[in-house]
């Protein structure tokens, strides 16, 4: 299994978007309406510094033409183009489409002369605009990845995971598309950290928690601090019949350290239960840890890390209890342990491995 570590250092990362750049982008991207114009005037009057900050954005916009040949600017615009194209494949959101045209327009020639600190101002403004574009991170099967976010938070992606990071004035938003990740959240009471998965979200201010998404089931586990989980209710038709601890009137849960909760895409939340802390800590080290787990669950977990899947051929094998620590994706070690402990044979069938009981 491979591991990648990607860093965006706090000092060199784009600053969090501020209201001045927000208004600048909005007014550049959209035609003014009476409501928008009044809201903009109200914002200007809220603080004497607002007008000055907005003028800095306007200045940086005008100055950008003089820096069209600057390699830093060219690199930033190239990065913008890549992320705009990436996000365009995911959504038809008009705001980001217009944002893309606006950012690319920064290279248009303008008859102004500037150097030095003004160039730095321009680069900083482009960074502030760039932060609005969602960034997608993903891992392949058997891969894990550690990402340092620009707000100081850290995200550890487990195997076959995909998520998108977006920053807003009032929140930090992560959309978990598939897989599992641990979020080590930098404290910021003014901008909660929200992880959206299926039909619900987990909200924290500064804590550490794990979210996994498997088909229509989401599990939120708190490793440190407190996390609020909430959903929008739809129906309960797809909830497994063997789940007995569902309160149909419950659409939210407050989890403390060591607690976990399941919720379904339909919006139903089960009662909190003890989190599988050992399992979560183990996978972050590239390990799979089992303690009297049923073989059917062990194989299911192992298969998440391997392209070549293991299949149990006999129902009698499913309830065997397995204990041990294995390297994630290490098929040979797992098969050896099953053979030595239970006498189970493994038959290679090209694209899968078939487990059969001893004869």
pLDDT tens digit at each of 359 positions of the chain: 555 444 333 333 333 345 655 666 666 555 566 677 788 888 888 877 777 767 766 666 555 555 556 666 666 656 655 655 555 555 445 444 544 455 445 444 343 334 444 444 555 555 555 555 688 999 999 999 999 998 899 999 999 999 999 988 889 999 999 999 999 999 999 999 999 998 899 999 889 999 999 988 999 999 999 999 999 865 555 445 544 444 444 489 999 999 999 999 888 899 999 999 999 999 999 999 999 999 999 999 999 999 999 999 988 899 999 999 999 999 999 999 999 999 999 999 888 999 999 77
Q: Look up the pTM and report it.
A: 0.67
Nearest to 176 by CA among 157, 203, 150: 157
For residue 248, what pLDDT is reported?
46
Alpha-carbon dihedral angle through residues 182, 185, 169, 58, given to the nearest 10 degrees: -100
**Based on the domain organization, do 176 and 298 belong to the same domain?**
no
For residue 353, what pLDDT is reported?
96
- Residue 148: strand pairing partners: 154
**Based on the domain organization, do 160 and 272 belong to the same domain?**
yes
* Both tokens assigned to 292: 């009297």
User: CA–CA separation, 322 vs 298, rounded Å?
Assistant: 7
CATH number of the domain encompassing residue 225 = 2.60.120.1440
Beta strand spans in 149-307 (E): 154-157, 162-167, 172-184, 193-197, 200-204, 208-214, 217-224, 227-231, 252-255, 259-264, 273-274, 287-294
**Based on the domain organization, do 226 and 303 belong to the same domain?**
no
Nearest to 338 by CA among 359, 314, 321: 321
Q: What H or E segment, with its residue span, contains residue 352? A: strand 352-356
**Based on the domain organization, do 192 and 312 belong to the same domain?**
no
Number of domains in the chain: 3
For residue 121, the enclosing domain spans: 18-130
Tell whether 257 is covered by a domain: yes
Tell whether 30 is covered by a domain: yes
Tell whether 184 is covered by a domain: yes
Tell whether 281 is covered by a domain: no
**Based on the domain organization, do 72 and 145 belong to the same domain?**
no
CATH number of the domain encompassing residue 348 = 3.55.50.30
**Based on the domain organization, do 158 and 270 belong to the same domain?**
yes
**Based on the domain organization, do 151 and 272 belong to the same domain?**
yes
* Both tokens assigned to 282: 């183990």
Tell whether 6 is covered by a domain: no
Question: In sequence order, what are the residues at sequence separation of 6 or more whose Cβ sits closer than 8 angstroms to the Cβ of residue 176?
Answer: 161, 162, 163, 195, 196, 197, 211, 213
The residue out of 91, 109, 130 marking a domain boundary is: 130
The residue out of 276, 296, 326 marking a domain boundary is: 276
User: CA–CA separation, 220 vs 273, rounded Å?
Assistant: 10
For residue 216, what pLDDT is reported?
87
**Based on the domain organization, do 68 and 99 belong to the same domain?**
yes
For residue 291, what pLDDT is reported?
93
The residue out of 130, 164, 184 marking a domain boundary is: 130
For residue 177, what pLDDT is reported?
95
**Based on the domain organization, do 214 and 268 belong to the same domain?**
yes
**Based on the domain organization, do 258 and 144 belong to the same domain?**
yes
**Based on the domain organization, do 121 and 146 belong to the same domain?**
no
**Based on the domain organization, do 265 and 140 belong to the same domain?**
yes
Whether 356 and 310 have beta carbons less than 8 Å apart is answered as no
User: CA–CA separation, 357 vs 317, rounded Å?
Assistant: 7
């Amino acid at each position: 299994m491979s591991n990648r570590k990607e860093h965006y250092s706090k000092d060199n990362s784009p600053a969090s978007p501020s209201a001045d750049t927000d208004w600048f982008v909005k007014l550049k991207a959209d035609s003014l309406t009476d409501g928008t114009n009044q809201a903009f005037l109200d914002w200007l009057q809220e603080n004497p510094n607002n007008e000055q900050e907005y003028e800095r954005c306007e200045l940086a916009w005008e100055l950008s033409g003089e820096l069209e040949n600057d390699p830093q600017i060219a690199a930033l615009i190239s990065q913008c183009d890549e992320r705009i194209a990436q996000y365009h494949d995911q959504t038809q959101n008009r705001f980001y489409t217009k944002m893309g045209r606006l950012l690319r327009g920064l290279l248009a020639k303008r008859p102004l002369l500037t150097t030095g600190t003004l160039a730095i101002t321009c680069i900083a403004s482009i960074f502030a605009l760039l932060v609005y574009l969602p960034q997608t991170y993903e891992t392949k099967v058997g891969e894990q990845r550690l990402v340092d976010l620009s707000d100081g938070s850290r995200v550890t992606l487990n195997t076959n995971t995909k998520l998108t990071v977006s920053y807003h004035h009032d929140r930090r938003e992560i959309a978990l598309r598939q897989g599992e990740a641990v979020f080590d959240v930098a404290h910021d009471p003014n901008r909660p950290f929200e992880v959206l998965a299926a039909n619900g979200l987990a909200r924290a201010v500064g804590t550490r928690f794990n979210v996994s998404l498997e088909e229509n089931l989401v599990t939120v586990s708190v490793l440190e601090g407190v996390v609020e989980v909430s959903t929008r209710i739809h129906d309960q038709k797809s909830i497994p019949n063997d789940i007995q601890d569902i309160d149909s009137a419950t659409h939210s849960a407050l989890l403390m350290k060591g607690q976990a909760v399941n919720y379904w895409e339909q919006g139903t939340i089960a009662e909190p239960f003890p989190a599988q802390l050992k399992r979560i800590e183990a996978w972050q080290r590239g390990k799979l840890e089992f303690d009297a787990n049923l073989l059917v669950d062990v194989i299911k977990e192992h298969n998440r890390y391997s392209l070549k899947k293991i299949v149990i051929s006999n129902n009698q094998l499913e309830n065997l209890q397995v204990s041990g620590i294995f390297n994630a994706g290490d098929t040979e070690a797992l098969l050896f342990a099953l053979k030595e402990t239970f006498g189970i044979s493994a038959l290679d069938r090209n694209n899968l491995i078939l487990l059969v009981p001893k004869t």
